[in-house]
Amino acid sequence: MKYQTKKVQIEALQWDGDWQPMRAWADNVSDGNGTVLRFYCNSANPDGALEICTLEGTMNVPLGDFVICGLAGEFYPCKPEIFHQKYEPASGG
């Protein structure tokens, strides 16, 4: 049996290494569901990296990946090439 996704709008923001807009966006769209975004910087990634505590555990978000807020308010990362294949800008958004 084949299935296709239902037409739904999602919230997403591309991670560019600037934690302030990402934190403000996440606080705005998460509706206080307890998801945690952690920001860190180390010598291997001097521009900074992002960690998301997801339902599946902690995930790293490399620069350029999108962070998506799902239908239940959960966050998860998505590679840009997959994001652009699956999503397009919503009208009025």
Would you give per-residue pLDDT tens digits along the chain (93 residues)? 988 888 888 889 999 888 788 888 887 776 655 555 665 555 555 556 688 877 788 888 888 999 998 887 788 899 999 999 999 888 765
| Residue 68 and residue 10 in contact, taking contact as beta carbons nearer than 8 Å | yes
Report the Cα 9 to chain-centroid distance in Å. Answer: 14
Buried b or exposed e, range 8-34, using 16+ CB within 10 angstroms: eeebeeebebebeebeebbeebbeeee
Per-residue model confidence (pLDDT) at position 34: 52
**Structure tokens, 36:** 């945690």
Per-residue model confidence (pLDDT) at position 85: 93
Q: The pTM is what?
A: 0.77
**Structure tokens, 50:** 């992002």
Cα–Cα distance for residue pair 51/2, rounded to 1 Å:
34
